[in-house]
Structure 1
Amino acid sequence: MLVEHLERWLGQMVGGWRVDDPQFGGLAFQVFRHGGNAVPQSAAYVTVGVNRYLGGRSLDGHPISQELMLLLPDDLVEADRTAFDALADAGFAVLRDGPFLRGQVVPTRAEPLLAAGKPFLYVTLPVFFDDRFAVAHQDGQPVVIAWVVPVTAAEQQYVTTYGWEAFEALLLHEDPDLVDLYRPSAV
């Protein structure tokens, strides 16, 4: 059901890669590229399988499972490599530490993101989509789709200093193109 949900919103899966780690018994999860153009001039990449590792609980005590989405410019030369590296880093962080919370900022070692001056991933809601996209179901359980957005060190520091609500208010005011890896910092 998760795959059907993702394809309904993002288009058919047109490519995918295994993310293996012996610590997690071989295959840990996969990263897929979707062929739709749900967000103009972007390509959507999503993890599948991270949700199998429940690690967190919601405020009401229910288990939280999660998948991660990254949007990149559809004309980015190394988009597949960038997405794989970034989502592998982020996916392993979820497996190690539990699901991300909105407003969390996590480091990435994805070389193309580092070269673009975006060494962090900011976790938020997939606001470019209808609210129904944000939660899928797998085996009768809800799976939260978290959007990870590449951000600058200055933006990471802003979140740390002022909080995620202030950062998202700043993004609303400044309206940067969050898909553009080479956008200037919002702060």
Structure 2
Amino acid sequence: MSTYIDFLEKELGTIEKGWSTDAKGEKLPFDVVKYCRGPFQGTVTYSTLGISHHKLECSSSNKLIRHELFMITDEDFGENEVVQVLQQLGLEALQAHSPYLRGQVIGPRGIVFKGSSLEALYVSSPAYYPEEFHVYESGEELPIVQVWMIPITANEADYVLRYGWSQFEDILVEEDPDLIDFSRVSIV
């Protein structure tokens, strides 16, 4: 029988490395892991592992959701920053007992990564992966949703808040920016 980790590693490659403590050395209620590949040559994927053990309640519908958070980077991008961002987001979801939902904007909170103008995160499905990867269903419990955390600019965050996530995603499709390039300029 295939496990959730088997499901992840089939698409993302084997887990290369993991973090179970924060920068202060304190144990976290979940791990962050790095897989050996991303959706494109020269990229890697990071995810939380363990947030999906918690059934998070959507405040607008009272629906219970299980999910894990993902980020995709160039393989030579500094892993410590990515790990810290995923740890912070994971802790916030667990503390609020609330899932991140598609189209949600987190921030702007200032520069997400050194040397970048990206100041917020956009919650989406992992569009760079096949649709069958977006949700893991074991048939035993609630499915686990894969949530892609995309760093965006303050202007993009403002655009989503003003015009809605659907219009923003239409622009993403039209402009086709490299969402893995954390030094990219705003598309709006």
TM-score, normalising length from structure 1?
0.87
* 2:112–2:151 Cα contact (<8 Å) kept: no
Deviation at 1:138, TM superposition (A): 6.2
Work out the CA distance in 1 between the residues paired with 2:110 and 2:89: 10
Deviation at 1:111, TM superposition (A): 6.4
Work out the CA distance in 2 between the residues paired with 1:27 and 1:108: 25
Deviation at 1:92, TM superposition (A): 1.4
Deviation at 1:120, TM superposition (A): 1.0
Aligned to 1:33: 34
SS at match of 2:113: helix
1:127 corresponds to which letter in structure 2? A
Aligned to 1:180: 181
Aligned to 2:91: 92
5 Å matches for 1:109-148? 113=113, 115-137=115-137, 140-141=140-141, 142-148=143-149
* 2:117–2:185 Cα contact (<8 Å) kept: no
Deviation at 1:90, TM superposition (A): 1.2
SS at match of 1:119: strand
Work out the CA distance in 2 between the residues paired with 1:174 and 1:180: 14
Q: Does structure 1 residue 15 correspond to structure 2 residue 17?
A: yes
Aligned CA distance change for structure 1 residues 111 and 184 (closer, same or farther; 3 Å):
closer
Identical-residue share of aligned pairs (%): 32
Deviation at 1:49, TM superposition (A): 0.5
Deviations 1:52-75 (A, max 9, x none): 221225988652100001001112
1:89 corresponds to which letter in structure 2? Q
**Which structure 2 segments of 5+ residues have no match?**
none
**Which structure 1 segments of 5+ residues have no match?**
none
Aligned to 2:80: 81
Work out the CA distance in 2 between the residues paired with 1:175 and 1:183: 12
Deviation at 1:115, TM superposition (A): 3.7
SS at match of 1:113: coil
TM-score, normalising length from structure 2?
0.86
Work out the CA distance in 2 between the residues paired with 1:58 and 1:49: 21
Aligned CA distance change for structure 1 residues 60 and 157 (closer, same or farther; 3 Å):
closer
Deviation at 1:19, TM superposition (A): 3.9
Structure with greater helix share of residues: 1
Aligned CA distance change for structure 1 residues 13 and 167 (closer, same or farther; 3 Å):
same
Work out the CA distance in 2 between the residues paired with 1:59 and 1:6: 29
Work out the CA distance in 2 between the residues paired with 1:57 and 1:120: 21
5 Å matches for 1:160-175? 160-175=161-176
Q: How many residues align?
A: 182
Deviation at 1:28, TM superposition (A): 1.1
Q: For structure 1, which segment, 10-19 or 106-115, has the greater mean C-alpha deviation from structure 2 after superposition?
A: 106-115
